Amino acid sequence: MAKKKATRRRRSQSKSASSVASPSSRETAIADTIARATPIIRAWAVRDENAYKQAKENVAAAILSNSHPSATLLERVLLLASIRLSVQGLPGYATLDFDHLFQIDRAAEQITTYIDDSSQQRPLNFVMLASPGSGKSHFINCLASSLAYTGIRPIVFNMASLQRNEDLIPPLESARNLKVEDHIPLLFLDEFDSSPTNFPLLLPLLWDGALNIGQRELKLGKVIIVMAGSDPSIPATMQHARSMRAEIPLMDGQSPKLVDLFSRINGGVLNIPTFYDRSEGVDRRPDKLCIAMQLLRHRFGRQLKYVSSGLLRFIAAAHFRYSVRSIAHLIDQIPQKESPETLFAKDCELPPSNVETLKNSSLAYHLIHEDQAYGIAQLWKEAFSRESIVPIHSNVITRYGTPTGPIPDEFADFIVRQMLEEIGNDPANPFKAN
């Protein structure tokens, strides 16, 4: 009997000790979360390369990690802070690629310098290299929006639709109308390389900001022109054109006018990098996920806060033929829910889950795999084999995530504690804080 009492006493003491230790353990976890989240939250206001690197790792750890089936509370908070950081560099355009952001900053600085220099009357010209469907028009609109205070307004025209020279008149007229309103046009000419006949047409526009079409002389003068091309041979041709050799080799079918056109690029090259290329050491899957989360909230509304990790893992792993446009097409296939706060795995019954259904669906045009439909179906199955739910939005971040100046550590501490409380107490939260 005495032995049983002693055992019960030890158990009681052990339980009492654990109840005392629990708050201490929780505070340690909170302190760790604050320490790791603070540099990322500070980077919302002041750009920091290490914070962007850590943010990419946070997105990968919360969604792509194989070490555990679901994100820990720490990882969820870091994920939310990192998602917010992805749209701070260029508002509306999601990226955690610091080199890409540096290139964007450099272009923005060139544009503002050009606008401020009244002596510059020739166009400022850029060439953009990006694959079809990579979000070029969205990028241009975000860039123009970020520079709206300078008077810039975007005009988008796809040169693949050019059937005759006169088809170029409407966008040029729109640019002239903006000039009348004292704005600076940012003329975006997508798929300029869709036909070699485009090159001689563009030469005078790039040099003088003027174009004669039929009996009409269209003068723009000071204008920013961005030409986007997706021909894989363009980078090599540009490199040859810069070689300073007398003879410049051209790829089969390329016009000699292409080299003349490149000589008028005085702004430089803008590049939207591919999401994944192992041979080149490129891994932008965290960007791919941040973009997917943006698209999901655009599709289902701002009330969407939690998403199936299986869906995100599939998007990260799959090879989409038309990049962002194909990801958007996949998301558009998800059946609409009325005011959804959570998108569960059961809500994502899509063609990739079945080989025959996939073959007969529109998604067959958008997905690529060496094993075709079977390989994609296996990829889908593997992605959902470790199903959990991850947060993609925080009301706390909406409230405090647009700083007007540097963020003190004390305020970052406050934001993290508010996020922890939100995740733990949110009635829509499909998981409990752990």
Q: What is the C-alpha separation between 392 and 305, in angstroms, rounded? A: 5
- pLDDT at position 20: 39
Please state, in angstroms and as integers, the Cα–Cα distance from residue 85 to each residue in 41, 44, 52, following that order.
8, 6, 8
Helix and strand totals (H; E) in the chain: 16, 14
User: pTM above 0.75?
Assistant: yes
pLDDT score recorded for residue 253: 60
pLDDT at 26: 73
CB 73 within 8 Å of CB 433: yes
Asked whether 367 and 379 are in contact (CB, 8 A), the reply is no
Residues 6+ apart with CB under 8 A from 40: 51, 54, 55, 58, 78, 81, 82, 85
Euclidean distance between CA atoms 157 and 244, whole angstroms: 32
Question: Identity (one letter) of the amino acid at 280?
Answer: E
| Residue 12: per-residue pLDDT | 44
Q: Does domain 98-272 have CATH number 3.30.420.40?
A: no
State the Cα angle at 35 between 29 and 37, rounded to 5°.
100
Secondary structure E strands in 33-151: 124-129
Which token pair is 281? 């050491």
Tokens of 193: 């390389």
Give φ, ψ of 211 to 5 degrees: -150, 130
Query: Do 143 and 106 meet the contact criterion of CB atoms below 8 Å apart?
Result: no
List the chain residues with pLDDT less than 50.
1-21, 433-434
Question: How far is Cα 112 from Cα 431, in angstroms, rounded to an integer?
Answer: 47
What separation in angstroms does the CA of 235 have from each of 28, 270, 298? Answer: 52, 12, 34
β 389-391/306-308 pair status: antiparallel
